[in-house]
Amino acid sequence: MSTIDNNQLSIIRQLDVGDYFSQLPAQQKLYAHHLCRAAWHGARIVMRQTSPESISIFELIKSLYKECGGQWKTLVKRCGVSAIELDGFMQYAAMFLCNLGNFYGEGNQKIVPSISRDSLWKLACISAEATEILEKVIDSIYSLPPHSLGFPNTDSMSNYYPGSGRMTKEEIAKVSSVLDSNDIGPENTRIRKITDGDTVIYHVLQASTDYGSTTELSVGNELHGHVRLVGGDHGQELAIICSELAKAAEYATSEIQTQMLSKLIDSFRSGSMEEFREFQKLWVTDKSPEVENMIGFAEPYRDPFGVRAEWGAVICLTDPQETLRMRRIVDRAKDFIHLLPWSMEDVNGGNGPFEKPEFEAPEYTSVHVRTWYQPGQTWGGLFEDLAMSVEESRATLISQYLVDNQEILSIFGYDDSTEPSAKDIIYSTYMQIGVDGLQALTHFDAQEQTWGEPHMRGHFGILKYLLTEGDGVLSVDADLDAQNITIRVDEGKILSHGKPALGQLLCRYHIWRCTADVKSCREFYEPLTSVTGQYEDWRRIVCQKPETRWKYVQPNTIRKDDDVELKIYETSDDGIIRSWMERNI
């Protein structure tokens, strides 16, 4: 069973972009404003993807905020609750809003409020509206199980597969195969199973503004039952998002940005993932924009099957200093690529056979091709639940593998004379591999034998590989009686044993990804990330000492005629709640 952290006390951070926003010209501010409005209006999509009750909990928070006018302390006397109980609700509300649902975005464990049921009822009794909402969801707010998100079973749930008709992994796989054979991308879908007597119907709910459209899909011999593509999922939110994106396009600074947003709008209206991929192709060509965005159904972090993507939206502003550093990295990229473990001096200009941008097929005369991507197949669709974890691990490994490169370290201001020194950075990186790998164990469900977070599974896999293949560069000592764990790094073995081990692991992941070798990847990765024996002992110790979670308070943009103001909120639970209430979503 997953460890559930019911304490919403946490570190609150301010996402401070004021200096960067103030430097934007008026046109870019308007562009950023409407992109932000589009992003925020996707919040309800995330809530709907998270759990059936999340939107109602959001409405409950809004109702109570409206009733007290944001003056939460007045509810102590008006509702007869203690200040501690009220704080418990505000901590829960802020944590809920930062995760856009009642399950943690990192780890997927359920968030349960510390305020008692009786006191929550007292708060809700302040208005008929709040009372009506709470009546619908109070059991769902407090009930355990489900303890976490995952394949629908007695201990976990997933609203990517909503409704009372519980789907098995096999059914999900077969419906996904039907979508693949009908050239329908799964990323922006959910599946609802409906049983009518002996007839089973799978409604594939596709995100679009195309309300009411229904298409019967050909199932062939893959499935007993009917599969229907039903448009209009998240339709109300997507209609508003499209409107805001169209407004943003009026202030685009290049034709590429205009075309890019047009493709994004077409995708959200029609549900076509092919249009979304066209948006991504254009996005790559939008070089060095001052305001950047990535919006849509792209990353399948929370679908237990690993193919359905959570709505995500990131609006970014350029940091001139950091951009200059990263530009220096990009300018030297061709040189640094040659340092990666798959590079070969005489192949593809020194890049090796697996670098996509300049790939030239090598002369293989005795190696038979066993695996490859069929037309239309993608990394995520083929590798399913492994895809995001292995990909995030691959990205992490590249940075760890190159951490000892003095040229890269100098670009970021570290050498032998700085504090910390380049040597300190290298040592700390290997120590951090141990810390991250151990802390990742809090995201493993021992009862279901599942990982709740792709990144964390990858962190644990890197640690375990270094422990077994790094010849002592990293060691972990666990005192089961004292319930303490000590990580040790042998600095003398970092370059001689640690780096080669990381390179071996990185090369495996990269080659399997490039060659679509899901069989070899799964046969290696699943045992590598299994948690048994001493690793289970470590997990129990780590779970008793969970990390303090973070919350972020984010600003709002407010348009006033042809100007845009940035409103900053207090770094507190009250500030987080107020910022969300003033987004008017």
In the block, tokens 């700390």 appear at 428
HSE-CB for 329 with a 13 A CA cutoff: 16
Residue 261 belongs to what domain range?
237-321
Neighbours of 216 (CB within 10 A): 10
Neighbours of 473 (CB within 10 A): 25
Neighbours of 128 (CB within 10 A): 10
Contact call for residues 583 and 556 (beta carbons, < 8 A): yes
Confirm whether 165 is domain-assigned.
yes
* Cα–Cα distance measured from residue 465 to residue 456, given in angstroms and rounded to the nearest whole number: 14
Enter the tokens of residue 129. Answer: 């509206």
Confirm whether 256 is domain-assigned.
yes
HSE-CB for 352 with a 13 A CA cutoff: 16
Question: pTM for the whole thing?
Answer: 0.84
DSSP for 73-125 reads: THHHHHHT--HHHHHHHHHHHHHHHHHTSSB-TTT-BBP--SS-HHHHHHHHT
Residue-level pLDDT at 353: 56
Confirm whether 342 is domain-assigned.
no
Confirm whether 361 is domain-assigned.
no
Q: How many domains does the chain have?
A: 4
Enter the tokens of residue 31. Answer: 């562009």
Q: Tell which of 191, 207, 233 closes a domain.
A: 233
Of 396, 525, 533, residue with least CA distance to 461: 525
Burial class (CB in 10 A: 0-12, 13-18, 19+), 206: buried
| Number of helices followed by number of strands (H, E) in the chain | 23, 16
What SS3 class is residue 349? helix
DSSP 195: E
What SS3 class is residue 186? coil
Residue-level pLDDT at 506: 96
* Cα–Cα distance measured from residue 490 to residue 218, given in angstroms and rounded to the nearest whole number: 59
**Residues in the chain where the model's pLDDT stays below 70:** 1-9, 344-377, 379
DSSP 233: E
Do 392 and 424 lie in a common domain? Answer: yes
Do 270 and 379 lie in a common domain? Answer: no
Do 312 and 265 lie in a common domain? Answer: yes
Do 534 and 473 lie in a common domain? Answer: yes
Contact call for residues 269 and 290 (beta carbons, < 8 A): no
Confirm whether 384 is domain-assigned.
yes
Contact call for residues 298 and 311 (beta carbons, < 8 A): no
User: Across all residues in the chain, what is the average pLDDT?
Assistant: 91
Do 283 and 382 lie in a common domain? Answer: no
Dump strand ranges (E) for 234-330. Answer: 291-299, 310-317
Residue-level pLDDT at 282: 94
Residue-level pLDDT at 2: 38
| One-letter amino acid for residue 302 of the chain | R
Contacts of 415 (CB under 8 A, 6+ apart): 406, 409, 421, 422
Q: Which helix (H) or strand (E) holds 314?
A: strand 310-317
Q: Give, in degrees to the nearest 5, the angle at Cα 309 between 137 and 298.
A: 135
CATH assignment of the domain containing 259: 3.30.540.30
| One-letter amino acid for residue 386 of the chain | L
Do 27 and 71 lie in a common domain? Answer: yes
Do 539 and 556 lie in a common domain? Answer: no
Do 556 and 528 lie in a common domain? Answer: no
In the block, tokens 């805001």 appear at 244
What are the angstrom distances between the C-alpha of 578 and each of 42, 96, 124?
Answer: 18, 13, 18
Residue-level pLDDT at 336: 82
Of 536, 549, 548, 544, residue with least CA distance to 484: 544
* Cα–Cα distance measured from residue 182 to residue 297, given in angstroms and rounded to the nearest whole number: 19
Do 196 and 134 lie in a common domain? Answer: no
Do 396 and 511 lie in a common domain? Answer: yes
Q: Tell which of 233, 249, 278 closes a domain.
A: 233
Do 227 and 242 lie in a common domain? Answer: no
Residue-level pLDDT at 28: 97
Residue-level pLDDT at 93: 98
* Cα–Cα distance measured from residue 555 to residue 30, given in angstroms and rounded to the nearest whole number: 15
* Cα–Cα distance measured from residue 100 to residue 551, given in angstroms and rounded to the nearest whole number: 12
Residue-level pLDDT at 510: 92
Q: Tell which of 185, 216, 233 closes a domain.
A: 233
Q: Which helix (H) or strand (E) holds 143?
A: none
Confirm whether 540 is domain-assigned.
yes
Per-position b or e across 91-114, b if 16+ CB within 10 A of its CB: bbbbbbbbbbbbbbbbbbbbbbbb
Do 273 and 291 lie in a common domain? Answer: yes
What SS3 class is residue 495? helix
Confirm whether 81 is domain-assigned.
yes
Confirm whether 419 is domain-assigned.
yes
Enter the tokens of residue 352. Answer: 């090796």
What are the angstrom distances between the C-alpha of 120 and each of 113, 115, 145, 306, 577?
Answer: 9, 7, 20, 36, 17
DSSP 529: T
